[in-house]
Amino acid sequence: MGKQRRVDLSKKDIILFKFLYKHRYANLKAINILYMVKIKTLYARLKKISNFGYIKVLKVKNMENIYTLDIKGYQVLKESFENDIKYFNININRVALNNNANHHLIIAEIGAILNNRNIDYEIDLNIKKTKPDWLLVPDLILIKNKIAFEIELEYKSMIKYEKKLAALQNTKEINKLIYIVRGNANKFKEKLIKIDEYKGGKTLDERIILDETIKKLEVLNLDDFIADIDNSDYI
């Protein structure tokens, strides 16, 4: 029997291509959420479409393998959709050195969950390019109800949170900002709700953080949020 020269793409494959275009790269955990099959079956499928040049497997030092689009995957998107498709070259070494790589992969995992539920969302990579006038660019935002999410894997300096709240106070694009944390959500929120001033603010609206702004905040534990996402008040 001769070597197989083509592969029939499934609807799930096309969904994966669109997903990888949006997120640039993702790990097996996020991709399995899209396919919802046994790991052995998923490995075989990814290997097949990789061998045919639709996706690439990137082996990153000290990280699990990640997946990104390859030339044929981009071609499928170009032929299927009218919007311009831009080729993104993912630098393996840059990913390995990027402290935000795990942060990016968690955004992709949440994105995969939302994708499966047909929930329209956008992520920071695209917001920065398409909405340059936004005062606050969240990691992820639900388009319909304007609920934004920030993934916080570690606590940052207080001044950064003050600045975020000042931006939240003066933006019309976000109705609620939810911090997703790995640790104790209550302790994290206790720190945030004490913020009443952004010292770097140039105007009164930027310097004084109002109670109404604090009420737009919520903090959730990452594992709890993902496990109970279908019962969430915010999805």
> What is the reported pTM?
0.90
List the domain boundaries for the chain. Answer: 11-98, 121-231
Is a pLDDT exceeding 60 seen at residue 224?
yes
Sign, CA dihedral 162-183-98-87, equals negative
Q: Cα(162)–Cα(104) distance, rounded to whole angstroms?
A: 23
Q: Please, which pLDDT band fits residue 73 given cuts at 50, 70 and 90? A: very high
On average, the pLDDT of the chain sits at: 91
Q: Please, which pLDDT band fits residue 92 given cuts at 50, 70 and 90? A: low
Q: What would the mean pLDDT of 145-149 be, rounded to a whole number?
A: 97
Question: What is the assigned CATH class of domain 11-98?
Answer: mainly alpha
- Which range (48-57, 159-168, 170-179, 193-202) has the least confidence? 193-202
Indicate the SS3 state at residue 178.
strand
The pLDDT score that the predictor gives to residue 1 is 44
Is a pLDDT exceeding 80 seen at residue 204?
no
Collect all residues with Cβ–Cβ distance below 8 Å to 195 and sequence separation of at least 6: 158, 161, 162, 165, 209, 214
Q: State which H helix or E strand residue 26 sits in.
A: strand 26-27
What does the pLDDT look like over 10-31, one tens digit per residue? 999 999 999 999 999 999 999 9
Q: Cα(50)–Cα(45) distance, rounded to whole angstroms?
A: 8
Q: What percent of the chain has pLDDT over 70?
A: 94
What does the pLDDT look like over 38-63, one tens digit per residue? 999 999 999 999 999 999 998 877 77
